[in-house]
Amino acid sequence: MSDRKEPTSISCTASLPMLWKEYFRDPSQWWDNRSRKVHPGYPDFKHKGTKQCLWIDNPCTPSWVTAELSRRSMETPLPARPVICDDCTAFVVSLRACAKSKDLRKGSLIHEEILRKGLVDQCSDALITMYAKCGALVKAQELLDIHSSRNAYTWTAMITAYAQHKQARDALRCFEHMQLAGLSPDAVTFACVLNACSSVQDIDKGRKIHAEIIRQGLIGDDVVLGNALLDMYAKCGALSTAQYLLQWLPSRDVVSWNALISGYTLLGQGEQALRCFEQMQIEGFSPTSVTFTCILEACGSIGALEKGEEVFYEIAKQELFENNIVLGTATVDMFAKCGALSKAQQVFQNLPSRDVVSWNALIAGYAAQGQGNQALECFAKMQQEGISANEVTYSCILDACGSLGALDKGTEVHHEITRQNLLQTNIVLSTAVVDMYVKCGAFQSAEQVVEELPLQAVAPWNSLITGYARQGQSDQALKCFKLMIHRGINPDAVTFTGVLNACSHLGLTDEGLMHFMSMKKIYNVKPDIGHYTCMIDLFGRSGQLDKAMEVIKEMPPGEDLAVWSALLGACQKWGDVNVGKRAFEHSVELSQNDAAAYALMANIYATASLYNDAEKVEV
């Protein structure tokens, strides 16, 4: 049984059998939601007037109800149509059965028979719904375009099918066409459309849907619709709105809390996710496997090992690991990200089953912690067990090869990736290949990979430019940048960090300033603190400390220690006491225990023969 708050009308009382008898006396007075339910929390039947609800799977439902429903072959009723022949009625019932069992082959055969009898117009709604629920969306849409259904249930089935098959844009388009056709969506339709908005993070559309739901007064005690709203705001990053909505929902359940916790986790706000988790338990809601999975991810993202262990022991206590590979993998990932690799390995070994995602969590942990050899060993064992690597696996292994300088192994992995034709469409993987070659010092191979990529992506170029800059080959970094621009690839913030560093190391102040000015004016890239620090370093190296101060004045509000530290270092090089004093004052204001700042200022005074002042500078 799923968690849900059921109305008193279906509680275990003597009135329940009477309510079922009332349903059977006149089913036309009840909405039948069975064929379009997207969540078990929705009632199977809901009275159109009194709004009383009935669930077939209620443990107190009389045993004769199921038999009576079966006898009458009661399915979702179609809206009133002109009287049709018995053959059509039989076809409609059969098509609904195919939709329920997702038997596309049988449904297609029935469609052929309907065509032969010339009954397509009368059976179009049932045909569209059958194809939609069986996942044959092209065929379903084709029929919908031809027959222009007036049945809201049919449109909802199409919208639901598109959403379930990750075709969110098509779901939203279908919803718009439904409204243009003059049909009124209900709570089920809105829930499906909100899920589609979540998938593509279309918060503007989601807000319009929310306003319409309020206008129609649909939320009420509909926890599923409320959860869909909350989930949409959370996944679109509007977490304050989601938090507010959670507090004001007339009814909420563990799914409501999961949506909010998941939203905080996805946006990297692990601390807030943990606070929600605690509040959820205070309010008496028991965590589910989904809750624990999100919390483990939150713990991993902020390195909260102690809390992660606490959650791990609670999961083990509830015996939730058995047959739950997702939860087991999340635990491995949490321990690995927290640096507890021995515990990650132990949990991994005890998993009842392991897939590529489980292996990836362990391999990624070793690679991230600088234990490249262990990552390669895991990769070898994974292959021995017959588990095929995917793009994530290869990215982690390339990272390990780069950190070890294992060029031969990295080249071997690159060739395997090429053989599987994975580089052509995967930016992350192609960047990992370039980065591996750069870290191994094989710049010619890195350039060749970038040159051959069909993707107009900036990330692989960034890896090459940054690699040249870090290796002291600044002239090559600038050549790559010019070639990238010539290819029509727009630079981003990472690109400019590499370019400005290259200009700084080469002493190209004018060119560096030109690139810095072009960031916002030409490429619409807002400079961050890293770019300002690069410019201060650029002017500081050439002794233009007045221009360095001008850069600081142009910075957006908010002080940063790295900026003043860079300026202070330049003042030591050029012996500028006045500017040095200003930089020192700002540095110690931001961090009184910055020993480097005190040492630099003392050296500046000593170089200027101001020994008394130098002695006064103490941490």
Q: What is the pLDDT of residue 297?
A: 97
Contact 286, 298 (CB under 8 A): no
Structural domains of the chain in order of their starting residue, each with its CATH number: 8-72 (no CATH), 528-619 (1.25.40.10)
In the structure, what pLDDT confidence band is assigned to residue 12 with cuts at 50, 70 and 90?
Answer: low
Q: Provide the token pair at 424.
A: 């052509």
Overall size of the chain counted in residues: 619
Using DSSP bridges, classify how beta strands 45-47 and 30-32 pair: parallel, antiparallel or unpaired. Answer: antiparallel
| Amino acid residing at 391 | E
Tell me the DSSP string of 320-333.
Answer: --TT-HHHHHHHHH
Q: Please, what's the largest Cα pairwise distance for the chain?
A: 108
Identify the pLDDT of residue 519: 95
Q: What is the pLDDT of residue 81?
A: 37
**What average pLDDT score do residues 547-558 get?**
82
Q: What mean pLDDT do residues 375-380 have?
A: 96
The reported pLDDT for the residue numbered 68 is: 74
Place of tokens 């509000």: 557
Quote the mean pLDDT of the chain.
Answer: 87
For 407-416, write each residue's pLDDT tens digit: 999 999 999 9
**CB-CB contact of 72 with 104 (8 Å):** no
Least confident of 23-27, 41-45, 145-149, 262-266: 41-45
Percent of the chain with pLDDT over 90: 56
Closest by CA position to 538, among listed 562, 510, 558? 510
Output phi, psi for 45, to 5 deg: -135, 140
Mean pLDDT to the nearest integer, 98-115? 91
Of 303 and 608, the one with more pLDDT:
303
Q: For residue 30, what is the enclosing H or E element?
A: strand 30-32
Give the pLDDT confidence score for residue 609 in this predicted structure.
82
What Rg, from alpha-carbon coordinates, does the chain have? 32
Judge whether 218 and 212 are in contact, CB under 8 Å: no
Residue at 38: amino acid letter? V
- How far apart (Å, rounded) are the C-alpha atoms in residues 431 and 444? 15
Q: Helix, strand, coil shares of the chain as percentages rounded to 5?
A: 70, 0, 30
User: What tens digit of pLDDT does each residue of 189-226 get?
Assistant: 999 999 999 999 999 999 999 999 998 888 777 888 99
566 vs 518, residue with greater confidence: 518
| 3-class secondary structure, 47 | strand
For residue 473, the model assigns a pLDDT of 93
Residue 204, judged by CB atoms within 10 A of its CB (0-12, 13-18, 19+), counts as: exposed
pLDDT of residue 48: 75
- CA triple 422-426-427, angle to 5 deg: 140
The Cα–Cα gap between 177 and 121 comes to 20
Q: Is the pTM of this model over 0.75?
A: no
pLDDT at 87: 63
DSSP 296-311: HHHHHHHT-HHHHHHH
Tens-digit pLDDT profile for residues 150-174: 788 889 889 999 998 889 999 999 9
pLDDT at 438: 96
Residue 526: pLDDT band with limits 50, 70, 90: very high
What average pLDDT does range 44-48 have in this prediction?
80
Number of helical H runs and strand E runs in the chain: 34, 3
Residue 386 has pLDDT above 90, yes or no: yes
Q: What is the dihedral of CA 367, 373, 377, 383, to 10 degrees?
A: 60
Query: pLDDT tier at 85 (50, 70, 90 boundaries)?
Result: very low
What percent of the chain stands above pLDDT 70?
Answer: 93
Lowest mean pLDDT among 121-130, 309-318, 368-377: 121-130
Here the tokens at position 112 are 């052929």
Cβ burial 392-417 (10 Å sphere, 16+ → b, else e): bbbbbbbbbbbbbebbebbbebbeeb
Tokens found for residue 614 = 């130098």
Sequence-ordered list of residues with C-beta below 8 angstroms from that of 72, at least 6 positions apart, any chain: 24
pLDDT of residue 39: 58
53: phi then psi, degrees, rounded to nearest 5? -120, 150
